[in-house]
Every structure is written in C-alpha cells, then in structure tokens.
C-alpha cells in the first residue's frame, strides 16, 4: 500500500488537475517504495528529480488556469507554489550532497508537502474554475 492514498478527499473536481495530482501521489509513493526497498542514492535522486520536474509543470498548469480566469487568490497561491518548489529543491541538494538520506521523516514531509497544499489551497479554486468551465 502506498504512503499516500488517492481518495475523493484529495479531489479538486477539475479532471486535468486531479490527474496531475494523482501522478504526484504516484511519484511520492515511488519514492517511499524506493526507501523501503533500500534503493541507492542514484535511484532516489532520479525519482526526486522527476517529482520536481512534474511539480513545476503542474504548478504552471494551475497558475495558467488562475491567470486566465483572474482568480482572486492567484498571488498568494503562486507564492505558496514558489515556497513549495524551494523546499523540494533544498531537499534535492541535500540528497545530492549526501547530507540527507530518505527516511520516514523525509517521506512524511513530502506527504504533507503534497496533501496539505491540495486540501487547503487547491480545493479553494474548485468553484471558481468550474464557473469558468475549466476541466
């Protein structure tokens, strides 16, 4: 069983975004699996780099939707995206320099890094995006 479970609690009601969130959940779970099976630094770094690349793509997609519909919370949401990106980039440099290895503590950080933002900030745009017919 994965570390993060996808369920309706995580759904923001916008199909393109739900599917991107599912992919992010999958990448966090892949990282957890790599930790459990004792995969080496190279594999962990590769998964982390995939997670970062996909996160950037995803944030861009959400910010594009926000800008196109003049979402009132765009600035604060984009700022949180920048902070979240910085956190994983920091983790990446620590993993690459060997000062951090992937432990359950790191995994729990990634789990809340993903879930908290979806549940608090992302869910807030649901009605606004739906009113603008975004899918």
The residue ranges that bind Fe ion (CB under 5 A) are: 62, 122
Between 28 and 44, name the residue whose CB sits nearer to Fe ion. 28
Between 25 and 44, name the residue whose CB sits nearer to Fe ion. 25
Strands (E), 25-90: none
As measured in angstroms, the least distance from the Cβ of 8 to Fe ion is 16
Question: Tokens 């549940």 correspond to what residue?
Answer: 119
Do 7 and 119 touch, CB atoms closer than 8 A?
no
As measured in angstroms, the least distance from the Cβ of 93 to Fe ion is 23
Between 29 and 122, name the residue whose CB sits nearer to Fe ion. 122
Question: Tokens 């503590």 correspond to what residue?
Answer: 105
Residues 6+ away with beta carbon under 8 Å from 80:
117, 121
DSSP state of 13: S
Query: Which residue minimizes CB distance to Fe ion?
Result: 122
Between 6 and 96, name the residue whose CB sits nearer to Fe ion. 6
As measured in angstroms, the least distance from the Cβ of 20 to Fe ion is 7
């Amino acid at each position: 069983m994965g570390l993060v479970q996808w369920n309706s609690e995580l759904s923001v009601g916008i199909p393109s975004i739900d599917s991107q969130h599912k992919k992010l959940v999958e990448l966090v779970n892949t990282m957890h699996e790599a930790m459990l099976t004792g995969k080496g630094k190279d594999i962990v770094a590769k998964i982390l780099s995939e997670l970062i690349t996909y996160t950037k793509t995803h944030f861009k997609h959400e910010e594009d939707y926000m800008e196109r519909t003049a979402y009132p919370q765009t600035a604060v949401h984009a700022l949180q995206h920048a902070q979240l990106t910085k956190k994983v980039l920091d983790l990446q440099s620590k993993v690459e320099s060997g000062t951090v290895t992937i432990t359950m503590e790191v995994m729990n950080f990634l789990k809340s890094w993903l879930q908290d933002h979806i549940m608090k900030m992302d869910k807030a745009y649901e009605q606004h995006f739906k009113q603008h017919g975004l899918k």
